[in-house]
């Protein structure tokens, strides 16, 4: 077992899952939890039989026992909260999306460099069992050379539009939801350089008085000429996750094919020797590990996997991935996608980085 790290958790909505992950991990201790709402702090304390809470983020940052801050506040606040944590000398685990724009990217890169602390982006889908297995199979070469991939995140998430912060500047289905699918594509094609896409605002989103594109399709091309398709649909009825996984990633290689997804613990593969139809592996025994609360709505299992990856990497002197630079590159892909749907043009990721004067090498 590696060193034990102590986490302070900021934001106690989905932060509930990270509390569960920390309390169930042999590699972590919980230092303190924090939310502006004292009522929510007390509710979480009661739920998890803990006592240490504060409504003041600065107070949590002053606690010398806390080495890592887990950030689960609304998307628009992540950049500020990461910067505050780094400046207080803490490492950071920040949920997706890392930020909602690239405006603060250079500031964060500079603060990270100055403080020497680590920033890890909690792209939870990478840590769900079928998608984790798919990556392992890919890394040992079972697919051969990757030819193309298809990723999607499709859910009827109109409930999300009821929230205050989904009505504030900076919220979009693309940054909050679709980033899961974009991150999976970028995991396999880390050198995506060009994007093209289309998007529409359905009448269902307009009914909320909002003009946020809820139906999106993109092609992402990497430097070697390989391309991925990425689809998002967020305000129309779905087939249901037993027919079509909410998140899905299909890898098509020269020697084999696989499909992993979320929330079903199902993984389809057809590797050599090839069969007519793919075989199915299920991980139903892990259902209680991944889904610890009501329904299949929270992400405690993925979070436990990623905080353990983080702790092990830090202990071994390695960089836990995805890190700040990778997170910023994914956001540059997203800004290129956003630009493409507004202009109808193909957009280059390097042009976005240049526009913001960001250097990632």
Ligand X SMILES: NC(=O)c1ccc[n+]([C@@H]2O[C@H](COP(=O)([O-])OP(=O)(O)OC[C@H]3O[C@@H](n4cnc5c(N)ncnc54)[C@H](O)[C@@H]3O)[C@@H](O)[C@H]2O)c1
Question: What is the x/- site pattern for ligand X, positions 266-305, by CB under 6 A?
Answer: ---------------------------------x------
Distance in angstroms (rounded) separating the CA atoms of residues 175 and 102: 12
Of 330, 6, 53, whose CA–CA distance to 187 is shortest? 330
Of the candidate residues 6, 13, 45, 323, the single one contacting ligand X (CB under 6 A): 13
Question: Which segments of 76-176 does DSSP mark as H helices, in order?
Answer: 78-87, 105-115, 129-139, 173
- Hey, which residues does 199 pair with through a beta bridge? 216
Distance in angstroms (rounded) separating the CA atoms of residues 193 and 332: 10
Nearer CB in complex with ligand X: 176/250: 176
Task: Determine if 36 is a binding residue for ligand X (CB under 6 A).
Answer: yes
**Stretch touching ligand X by CB under 6 A, among 7-15, 144-152, 269-277, 323-331:** 7-15
Distance in angstroms (rounded) separating the CA atoms of residues 244 and 226: 25
- Hey, which residues does 150 pair with through a beta bridge? 229, 250
**Stretch touching ligand X by CB under 6 A, among 10-18, 136-144, 185-193, 313-321:** 10-18
Nearer CB in complex with ligand X: 19/34: 34
Nearer CB in complex with ligand X: 12/353: 12
Residue nearest to ligand X (CB): 13
Task: Determine if 95 is a binding residue for ligand X (CB under 6 A).
Answer: yes
| 179-188 and 324-343 helices, crossing angle to 10° | 110
Q: What's the min distance (Å) between Cβ of 54 and ligand X?
A: 9
- Supply the DSSP symbol for 274: P
Distance in angstroms (rounded) separating the CA atoms of residues 142 and 162: 44
Residue carrying structure tokens 């990425």: 230
Of the candidate residues 20, 112, 172, 176, the single one contacting ligand X (CB under 6 A): 176
User: Could you tell me if 28 and 307 are in contact, meaning their C-beta atoms sit under 8 angstroms apart?
Assistant: yes
Task: Determine if 12 is a binding residue for ligand X (CB under 6 A).
Answer: yes
**H/E element, 239:** none
Q: What's the min distance (Å) between Cβ of 305 and ligand X?
A: 12
Task: Determine if 77 is a binding residue for ligand X (CB under 6 A).
Answer: yes
Q: What's the min distance (Å) between Cβ of 13 and ligand X?
A: 2
Of the candidate residues 19, 21, 22, 34, the single one contacting ligand X (CB under 6 A): 34
- Binders in 101-160 for ligand X, by CB under 6 A: 122, 124
**H/E element, 166:** none
**Cβ neighbourhood burial of 323 (10 Å; 0-12, 13-18, 19+):** middle
**Stretch touching ligand X by CB under 6 A, among 68-76, 222-230, 274-282, 321-329:** 68-76
Q: What's the min distance (Å) between Cβ of 297 and ligand X?
A: 9
Task: Determine if 10 is a binding residue for ligand X (CB under 6 A).
Answer: yes
Nearer CB in complex with ligand X: 146/210: 210
- Give the HSE-up count for residue 219: Cα atoms under 13 Å, Cβ half-sphere: 9
Q: What residues line the site for ligand X (CB under 6 A)?
A: 10-14, 34-37, 40, 57, 72-75, 77, 95-96, 122, 124, 176, 299
């Amino acid at each position: 077992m590696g060193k034990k790290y102590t986490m302070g958790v900021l934001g106690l909505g989905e932060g509930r899952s990270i509390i569960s992950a920390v309390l169930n991990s042999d590699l972590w201790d919980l230092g303190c939890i924090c939310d502006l709402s004292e009522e929510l702090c007390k509710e979480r304390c009661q739920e998890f039989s803990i006592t240490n809470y504060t409504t003041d983020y600065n107070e949590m940052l002053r606690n010398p026992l806390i080495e890592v801050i887990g950030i689960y506040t609304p998307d628009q606040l992540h950049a500020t909260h990461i910067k505050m944590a780094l400046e207080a000398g803490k490492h950071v685990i920040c949920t997706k999306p890392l930020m909602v724009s690239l405006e603060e990217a250079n500031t964060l890169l500079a603060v990270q460099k100055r403080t020497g602390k680590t920033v890890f982006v909690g792209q939870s889908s990478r840590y769900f069992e079928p998608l984790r297995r798919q990556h392992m199979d890919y890394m040992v070469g079972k697919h051969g050379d990757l030819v193309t991939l298809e990723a999607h995140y499709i859910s009827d998430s109109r409930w999300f539009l009821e929230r205050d912060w989904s009505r504030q500047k900076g919220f979009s289905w693309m940054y909050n939801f679709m980033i899961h699918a974009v991150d999976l594509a970028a995991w396999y094609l880390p050198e995506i350089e060009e994007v093209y896409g289309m998007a529409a605002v359905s009448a269902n989103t307009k009914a909320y008085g909002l003009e946020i594109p809820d139906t999106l399709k993109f092609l992402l091309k990497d430097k070697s000429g390989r391309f991925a398709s990425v689809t998002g649909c967020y305000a129309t009825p779905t087939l249901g996750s037993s027919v079509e996984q909410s998140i899905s990633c299909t890898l098509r290689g020269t020697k084999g094919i696989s499909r992993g997804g979320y929330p079903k613990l199902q993984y389809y593969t057809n590797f050599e020797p090839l069969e007519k139809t793919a075989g199915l592996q299920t991980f139903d025994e892990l259902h209680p590990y991944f889904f610890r609360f009501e329904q299949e709505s929270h992400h405690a299992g993925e979070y436990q996997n990623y905080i353990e990856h983080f702790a092990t990497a830090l202990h071994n002197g390695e960089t836990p991935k995805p890190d700040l630079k990778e997170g910023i590159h994914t956001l540059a892909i997203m800004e290129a996608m956003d630009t493409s749907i507004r202009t109808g043009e193909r957009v280059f990721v390097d042009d976005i980085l240049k526009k913001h004067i960001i250097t990632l090498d």
